[in-house]
Amino acid sequence: MDTRSELQATVDALVQAGKGLLAADESGATIAKRFERIGVASSEESRRAWRNLLLSTPGLGECISGVILYEETLGQCADDGTPLPALAARHGIVPGIKVDKGKLALAHAPGDEITEGLDGLAKRLAAYRQQGARFAKWRAVYNVSGELPSRLAIQANAQALARYAAICQEMGVVPIVEPEVLMDGAHAMARCAEVTEAVLHDVFHALHRHAVVLEHMLLKPSMVLPGKDAGHAAPAEVAMQTVQVLKRTVPAAVPGIFFLSGGQTPIEATANLDAMNRLAPLPWRLSFSYGRALQEPPLLAWRGEAANAAQAQRALLQRSRLNGLASLGQYEAALETAAG
């Protein structure tokens, strides 16, 4: 199979109706914080046990098409010795890999950040492919205030995202491009919309300059939301504002937009996605690529106890199914039916 056919096959496997992505690519520091909240020490074995629990959930492939893994997880094995990427594939779930190396302060731009990890990326991707990864993810973050992000931050992160995406496609790996406009702060929803539009505009200009094939990539943006300290927005408003920005900036050639949950509660993330999909017809598949919004309920059920594994898996499957319905615009109707 040539590279383009391989990329298309991966995209087709990921962008399936009623399915989304499980983001299980938390860094060591992030997963340690989540484990701390349930009284579990973060060790290589506890992280392996948790991700084994996630990927061995019966029926998960019915509503999850792909899983984003952390580099450590890519080399770990399930309880029966099966490599975790192979365990995911056995369930019909495409294994992917987070490839950025995290964020740091952007020089000459106080308050802004830039993501690093481009050095040696092609070589790393070749190794990840050998371990089973078929797609990758790179996250850029944008802090929001009246002055942030600066033009420099918007342009520098767009350039890095485009370089990453071009390298991925050259290596036969589908890139997920993740520009996250952070919820932190007291900014209004209108300010988030303004920043998100500027960010996506620059990202797609950079992707064009780097000859990235839009049909062979996926976008993982944040939703248009008010800052966490500025109150709450109804799903209908989130949907209208987010879709308006997407229509202004994202070419129809992009096959799928998989939202990050970005600090929303599991219920908020599902309701907002559902409201967007009820604005159909839309030129792209709108789905989910959630981390905490999928993992929080099973994590609270598990609490590091092997005896709680089945209960935790049921919680994961339940949230995955609800988000699968939301990706079809059927979540609210299903709730009404259940209530009636």
For the chain, percent helix, then strand, then coil, each to nearest 5? Answer: 50, 15, 35
Number of H helices, E strands in the chain: 13, 10
User: How far, in Å, CA of 134 to CA of 97, rounded?
Assistant: 8
Backbone angles phi, psi at 330, to 5 degrees: -115, 5
User: How far, in Å, CA of 234 to CA of 45, rounded?
Assistant: 41
Kindly name the residue from 19, 98, 137, 220 that is annotated as catalytic.
Answer: 220
Kindly name the residue from 19, 26, 113, 178 that is annotated as catalytic.
Answer: 178
Backbone angles phi, psi at 114, to 5 degrees: -135, 145
Place of tokens 């000859």: 211
Using alpha carbons, select from 317, 229, 322 the residue that is nearest to residue 272. 322
Place of tokens 């039916």: 337
- Tell me if residue 116 is catalytic: no
Q: DSSP letter string over 129-191?
A: HHTT--EEEEEEEE--SSSPSPHHHHHHHHHHHHHHHHHHHHTT-EEEEEEEE---SS--HHH
- Tell me if residue 113 is catalytic: no
Q: Which residues contact 299 (CB under 8 A, 6 or more apart)?
A: 34, 38, 50, 312
Catalytic (active-site) positions: 178, 220
